[in-house]
Structure 1
Amino acid sequence: MPRQFSLADGGKIHAVGLGTWQLEGNQGREAMVHALKSGYRMLDCAFSYGNQALVAEAIEQSGVAREDLFIVDKLANTWHSAAEECLDRTLAALKTDTLDLWLMHWPSPLNHHGNHPKCPTLPDGTVDFEKNWNYVKTWQTMIEIQKRRPEVKRLGVANFGIKELEAISVTGVLPLVNQVELHPSCNQENLHKYCIQKGIQLVAYSPLGSTGSALLHDPNLKAIAKKNNATVAQCLLSWGVANGWPVIPRSSSPDRLDQNLDILELSKEDVDAISRIGKASPKRYVTAPWHTFEEIV
């Protein structure tokens, strides 16, 4: 099983990364320190998570050198029209001179001066989008920033479907990575095929299906896990890597963190069986009031 995947620019991205969403306080910092000491080298962060300073503390306490890490961060929805300032704040909070990968978190520019830092609303309660702005303009801005700023090594996007990827292709620059919800019940087959054709690497967030996922309790998946002397979570993560994309699980449990890093060599029979289990119960767990996803196919 691959421990890294190659990107279109010749760089490498780790097969397993640590999701930092909702890792907060002492428990969150301790989880990140444990993960880094256990061998995690890709940290998936975001401005909107509000814990970049905590990530910086964890890196410092872990003793892992910055050059050994692959740090991902994301431009927040309410900062599309102020992308460079968001980048500067991100670098300062993370106490780093570089981002290995900078993503547009969503193709959804929201009012930078609105009434909420994450999801501003209008008086009628609907989402307050940035006026006279769109995500294609954001992508062009990120391209221009990268040309001027060596701090940004690579550019990518998150939560983009084929429609959005086609729209930003007019800039002549495609993202190296597209991070999306991706697990057997939301297998993104059409998007995966498209990204392969375009040289875009899919990366899976919520690779276990998210909290309360039916996949974790599926009796057929439990049987596959038992046969492989593994957990269901390990089988789901290994399924993703076997299909060709990095996975970003999140946990604050030291035991689960260690287990999630242990990718299995699943048989083709098991990989196909997990795919069938997922297709039998299609489900997208992540929704957002500021974005409409394509149907699961």
Structure 2
Amino acid sequence: MTTETTSLPGPTASLPGGGEMPLLGLGTWQSEGDDCYRSVLHALEVGYRHIDTATGYGNEDQVGRALAESGVPRDEVFVTTKMPPDEAPRAREVLSRSLDLLGLDFVDLWLVHWPPGGEASPQTWDHFLAARSERQARDVGVSNYSTAQLDELVRSSGEAPSVDQVPWAPALHDQGFLDACRQRGVVVEGYSPFKKTDLGDPVLAEVAQAHGVTPQQVVLRWHLDHGVVVIPKSVTPERITANADVFGFSLSPDEVRRVDGLADA
């Protein structure tokens, strides 16, 4: 349906399964129906190659529709979905349904969306490792897990999650958490980058002015300069395009430290 597109030039994170996870992706939380379809299709047209969805979002079918109609080869797109914690006893059935809705043979990353019952749930993790072994998911990970819960999974299985997807923004910056995850070989992926951010903060305004960009673009670039995956959500074509325009500049070490400091403000 679409003309040939060129992927964004951004950095990636190498995962244990051999995949390369683009540090910038499109989030689809609260994107529904045709809005979701159009946003994913536009993102793919302007070069995004990382799409994040979840069973709980109720839009995997629309994501799949856009993937199929985009004309972008499957091996060029990194697709993540997530299992709701209350579906843990039926984990494999949930993944099979997700794959059917997405129209895919496998996902690049399958996450436990929240700790089931607030617990690490090693038995759920076993299902995820089995899905990886059977090549239904290239890599598996978790979302909203603490480092203590990550350690419980490692103790039970000897396998650390590839990714921990957590809320992340300058005001939430926690270098100790980043360091702890990296020591365990876990990639940190941030969601809701703008929800917890005061985009009118003078620090963001000054940094943005210095680079001729917007505060939103500074926040996204700050994630990339920290090596943190970020998945801003939008259904507005102009914003999706603007969110991708963060590869022509980078923050200086001093600017990164100033933005880090918003966590202490």
Q: TM over 0.5, yes or no?
A: yes
Listed one character per residue, the Cα deviations across residues 155-177 of structure 1 (whole Å, up to 9, x for unaligned) are 11110111111111121111111
SS where residue 73 of structure 1 aligns? strand
* 2:138 corresponding residue in structure 1: 153
Which structure has the larger Rg over C-alpha atoms? 1
2:50 to 26, 42, 46: 42
**TM-score, normalised to structure 1's length?**
0.81
CA contact (8 A) 1:8 1:200 kept: no
Query: What's the CA shift for 1:141?
Result: 2.0
* 2:262 corresponding residue in structure 1: 277
2:33 to 16, 25, 40: 25
* 1:95 corresponding residue in structure 2: 103
* 2:229 corresponding residue in structure 1: 246
Query: What's the CA shift for 1:54?
Result: 0.7
Listed one character per residue, the Cα deviations across residues 175-232 of structure 1 (whole Å, up to 9, x for unaligned) are 1111111111111322211111111111111122x1xx44212122112111111011
Whole-angstrom CA distance in 2 between matches of 1:202 and 1:134: 17
1:173 to 138, 159, 164: 159
Listed one character per residue, the Cα deviations across residues 92-116 of structure 1 (whole Å, up to 9, x for unaligned) are 000101111111111124xxxxxxx
Cα RMSD after superposing both structures: 1.7
Whole-angstrom CA distance in 2 between matches of 1:21 and 1:33: 15
Q: Does 1:81 align with 2:89?
A: yes
Query: Match of 1:238, as an amino acid?
Result: R
Whole-angstrom CA distance in 2 between matches of 1:42 and 1:219: 31
Whole-angstrom CA distance in 2 between matches of 1:227 and 1:221: 10
Query: Match of 2:136, as an amino acid?
Result: E
2:72 to 52, 64, 74: 64
Q: Does 1:258 align with 2:244?
A: no
Task: Choose between structure 1 and 2: higher helix proportion.
Answer: 2
Query: Match of 2:78, as an amino acid?
Result: F
Aligned residues: 254
Query: What's the CA shift for 1:23?
Result: 1.1
Whole-angstrom CA distance in 2 between matches of 1:12 and 1:30: 25
Q: Which runs of 5+ in 2 are unaligned?
A: 1-8
Query: Match of 2:143, as an amino acid?
Result: A
SS where residue 157 of structure 1 aligns? strand
Q: Does 1:182 align with 2:142?
A: no
Listed one character per residue, the Cα deviations across residues 20-40 of structure 1 (whole Å, up to 9, x for unaligned) are 111112222211111110001
CA contact (8 A) 1:101 1:152 kept: yes
CA contact (8 A) 1:8 1:199 kept: no
* 2:12 corresponding residue in structure 1: 4
In terms of mean alpha carbon deviation, does 256-265 or 95-104 score higher?
A: 256-265
Query: What's the CA shift for 1:6?
Result: 2.0
Query: Match of 1:19, as an amino acid?
Result: G
CA contact (8 A) 1:19 1:249 kept: yes
Residues 231-242 of structure 1 aligned to structure 2 (within 5 Å): 231-242=214-225
Whole-angstrom CA distance in 2 between matches of 1:181 and 1:193: 16
CA contact (8 A) 2:191 2:230 kept: yes
Query: Match of 2:47, as an amino acid?
Result: G
Question: Identity of aligned pairs, percent?
Answer: 33
Give the direction of change, closer, same or farther, for the CA distance of 1:178–1:134 in structure 2 (3 Å limit).
Answer: closer
Query: What's the CA shift for 1:68?
Result: 1.2
- Deviating 4+ runs (over 6 angstroms): none
* 1:121 corresponding residue in structure 2: none
